[in-house]
């Protein structure tokens, strides 16, 4: 059985690097992959508007459709702006690349930190909102929201580890089902009301919505502030719009054209669904309240408020119950799968930042399925942390959500204005100049819209937004520190233009660490002699005088020409005496190199590691910090590791099968540790447990 069978079952077979083109997405798959976040936002954005307006009581609810229109205008403006982005910067850097190129590295890092917070909260908000919609339809699940949310994040992580194309195909059906379901509900509700005169009251329409804390007579500045706050809450519908500009490389060619087309499709569908839901909320009299029992006069004491979309669908499909459950099911599913947008955007952004040395290099490499596996896992862990910290409450998480989105929107649009202005200075073709001026005008309008929203968000939500801002600051400082570290290491390791004599040692002192004369020790001695150091000696630590004396006698009887040095250890310590001895050698001859050979044996099973101490690991870890000291491990594979190695070779691609000719591995002093499992590096104490 292959050693990595569980991994292959979970994420599938490994893909060759030359298969990367097979993972590229057509528009019909790219739409659910990259636009599911923006499309699913319409499920909770209208609810956020109603919740905010409820603070002023029923008198403010009629403003919801005007606020919805303004949100729709802002969305169309942002989408039009991002259509310019994908043509100008198709490499996948998105807002980060635009800000870095046009405003400088620090601005790019501000955008990157905002986007990372946005992606993390996308996963947290989408999964918790999806669970909330499912709980509205299945009350028996109430109380298990956190466990369900965390489980869904883990499942999404597993699906994305299988690769972008496979996850996109799996998510396409639910996304299209959600679009068809919501648009169908809007059409069904309008036809039922106007053609048949049906009355479709929501369950909350029979209650009287009272203002909280005497806010029913809001006027002047207080009313304006409340409307602005409701507008900023409704702008949650714009979250995820930027994902397509970050995922252009995942599209099939022509990449920029397909990405721009997908953006237009997404905007058209999202605005239609958003305004349709707000209209149906008016038609059905749907009411939402922060405190449903206190604000909804007439509601029973045990009343549990359903989501706005659940109330609307229940009212519209009052004569067709399967329709209600269909909407509840696909809404919960799309909200959960909307997190897939972040699982596609965050790893790509992390890879670009790692390539620019702002994040660990491990985030830059692709995994077995040609996905950025490390970024996917990191995103899942961060999202789970937010879900747990905020009790899986989507309304609390949404309050943190919009800041990062609109910070990146603003930096991106201002960067694009600079981009077009710079090109216009050198462009002489009249037709090209007209196109650039039109694009600059679009980006300018987008900047005005997004800047206004950001100001409103900061003014009305600063009580919650500071958490997101603080997280962005931490990420910014962390990325700067990582870049400084990589730059310092690169500068330190930079090869000199001329030969540096200080890199050439005068002499090499070879030291073989032994505890008794068994096969690993003899192999290490033979290997060290082949290296032809200027001096070579064997070193043992006198932990047990009887064992040390036995080693001396065995050494003399075998007539080994390498001299044996015994180090005293009154406290029965191994690492300290060896380090002191090496340090003294270095002190006496600073330009000499000390080469330490450590015999070790390799076991094949994890539980065998528990039977041996790890003194060699500690010693090697200390020696690595000593300048002028080279450490060489000389492995000896035990039978269990050889069997494990044969099992892996048997299951590997191209392995020799039963009945085919094969060549036995010849034991030699240079056997490769690659053939075995991870080594159990038992140096001196542990080697006494083995038999020669």
Which comes out higher in pLDDT, residue 681 or 302?
302
Average pLDDT, stretch 542-570? 90
Q: CA-based Rg of the chain, rounded to a whole angstrom? A: 33
Residue 660 clears pLDDT 60, i.e. is over it: no
Which segment, 58-72, 354-368, 409-423, is predicted with the most confidence on average? 409-423
Mean of per-residue pLDDT scores for the chain? 80
Ramachandran region of residue 149, left (φ > 0), alpha (ψ -120 to 50) or beta? Answer: alpha
Residues 113-169: pLDDT tens digits?
998 998 898 899 888 888 887 887 788 888 888 999 999 999 888 877 776 444 556
Average pLDDT, stretch 440-468? 86
Q: How far is Cα 115 from Cα 136, in angstroms, rounded to an integer?
A: 31
Which comes out higher in pLDDT, residue 302 or 482?
482
| Helix segments in 356-400, DSSP class H | 373-389, 394-398
Sorting pLDDT into bands at 50, 70 and 90, what band is 234?
Answer: confident
Residues 487-522: pLDDT tens digits?
888 887 665 555 555 555 678 899 999 988 888 889
DSSP string computed for 55-94: GG-GGGGGGHHHHHHHHHHHHHHHHHHHHHHHHH-TTS-H
Residues 287-305: pLDDT tens digits?
888 777 777 777 787 778 8
Residues 5-54: pLDDT tens digits?
454 445 455 544 444 444 577 888 888 777 777 888 888 889 889 888 88
Residue carrying the six token digits 């996963």: 123
Q: What angle do CA 33, 261, 27 make, to 5 degrees?
A: 40
What is the model's pLDDT at position 613?
44
Which domains, from first to last, does the chain contain? 27-487 (1.20.1740.10), 501-656+667-689 (3.40.50)
Average pLDDT, stretch 408-429? 92
What is the model's pLDDT at position 563?
94
Q: Give 330: exposed, middle or buried? Use CB within 10 Å, 0-12, 13-18, 19+.
A: buried
What is the model's pLDDT at position 21?
45
Task: Count CA within 13 A, CB hemisphere, residue 242.
Answer: 34
Residues 53-96: pLDDT tens digits?
887 766 677 888 899 999 999 999 889 988 888 888 887 667 88
Task: Kindly provide the residue ranges of all beta strands, DSSP E only, lying in 346-479, ordered along the sequence.
Answer: none
């Amino acid at each position: 059985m292959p050693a990595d069978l569980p991994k292959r079952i979970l994420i599938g077979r490994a893909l060759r690097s030359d298969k990367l083109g097979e993972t590229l997405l057509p528009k019909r798959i790219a739409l659910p992959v990259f636009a599911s976040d923006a499309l699913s936002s319409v499920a909770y954005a209208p609810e956020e508007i109603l919740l905010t307006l409820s603070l002023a009581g029923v008198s403010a609810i009629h403003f919801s459709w005007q606020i919805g229109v303004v949100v729709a205008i802002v969305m169309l403006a942002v989408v039009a702006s991002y259509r310019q982005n994908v043509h100008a910067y198709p490499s996948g850097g998105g807002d980060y690349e635009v800000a870095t190129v046009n405003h400088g590295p620090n601005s790019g890092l501000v955008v990157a930190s905002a986007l990372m917070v946005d992606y993390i909260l996308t996963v947290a908000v989408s999964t918790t909102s999806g669970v909330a919609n499912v709980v509205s339809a299945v009350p028996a699940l109430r109380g298990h929201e956190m466990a369900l949310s965390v489980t869904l994040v883990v499942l999404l992580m597993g699906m994305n580890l299988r690769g972008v194309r496979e996850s996109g195909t799996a998510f396409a059906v639910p996304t299209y089902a959600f679009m068809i379901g919501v648009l169908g509900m809007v059409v069904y509700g309008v036809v039922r009301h106007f053609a048949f005169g049906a009355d479709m009251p929501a369950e909350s329409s029979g209650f009287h919505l009272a203002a909280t804390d005497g806010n029913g007579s809001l006027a002047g500045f207080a009313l304006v502030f409340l409307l602005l706050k409701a507008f900023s809450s409704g702008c949650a519908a714009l979250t995820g719009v930027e994902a397509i500009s970050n995922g252009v490389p995942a599209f099939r060619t022509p990449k920029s054209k397909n990405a721009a087309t997908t953006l237009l499709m997404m905007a058209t569908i999202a605005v239609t669904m958003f305004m349709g839901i707000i209209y149906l909320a008016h038609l059905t009299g749907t009411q939402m309240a922060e405190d449903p029992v206190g604000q909804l006069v007439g509601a029973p004491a045990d009343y549990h408020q359903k989501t706005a979309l659940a109330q609307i669908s229940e009212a519209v499909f009052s004569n067709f119950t399967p329709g209600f459950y269909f909407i509840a099911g696909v809404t919960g599913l799309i909200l959960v799968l909307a997190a897939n947008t972040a699982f596609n955007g965050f790893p790509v952004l992390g890879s670009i930042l790692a390539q620019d040395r702002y994040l660990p290099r491990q985030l830059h490499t692709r995994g077995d399925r040609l996905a950025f596996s490390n970024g996917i896992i990191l995103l899942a862990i961060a999202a789970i942390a937010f879900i747990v910290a905020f009790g899986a409450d989507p309304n609390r998480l949404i309050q943190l959500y919009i800041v990062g989105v609109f910070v990146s929107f603003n930096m991106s649009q201002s960067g694009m204005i600079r981009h077009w202005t710079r090109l216009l200075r050198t462009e002489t073709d009249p037709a090209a100049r007209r196109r650039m001026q039109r694009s600059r005008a679009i980006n300018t309008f987008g900047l005005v819209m997004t800047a206004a929203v950001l100001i409103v968000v900061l003014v009305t939500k600063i009580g919650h937004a500071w958490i997101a801002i603080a997280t962005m600051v931490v990420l910014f400082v962390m990325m700067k520190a990582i870049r400084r570290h990589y730059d310092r290491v690169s500068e330190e390791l930079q090869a000199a233009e001329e030969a540096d004599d200080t890199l050439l040692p005068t002499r090499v002192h070879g030291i073989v660490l032994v505890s008794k004369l068994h096969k690993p020790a003899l192999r290490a001695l033979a290997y060290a002699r082949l290296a032809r150091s200027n001096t070579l000696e064997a070193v043992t630590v006198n932990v047990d005088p009887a064992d040390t004396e036995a080693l001396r006698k065995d050494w003399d009887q075998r007539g080994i020409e390498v001299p044996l040095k015994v180090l005293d250890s009154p406290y029965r310590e191994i690492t300290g005496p060896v380090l002191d001895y090496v340090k003294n050698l270095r002190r006496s001859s600073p330009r000499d190199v000390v080469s330490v050979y450590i015999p070790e044996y390799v076991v094949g099973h994890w539980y065998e590691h528990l039977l041996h101490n790890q003194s060699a690991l500690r010693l090697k870890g200390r020696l690595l910090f000593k300048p002028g000291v080279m450490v060489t491990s000389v492995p000896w594979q035990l039978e269990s590791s050889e069997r494990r190695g044969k099992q892996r070779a048997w299951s590997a691609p191209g392995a020799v099968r039963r009945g085919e000719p094969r060549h036995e591995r010849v034991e030699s002093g240079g056997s490769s540790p690659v053939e075995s499992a991870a080594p159990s590096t038992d140096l001196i104490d542990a080697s006494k447990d083995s038999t020669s």
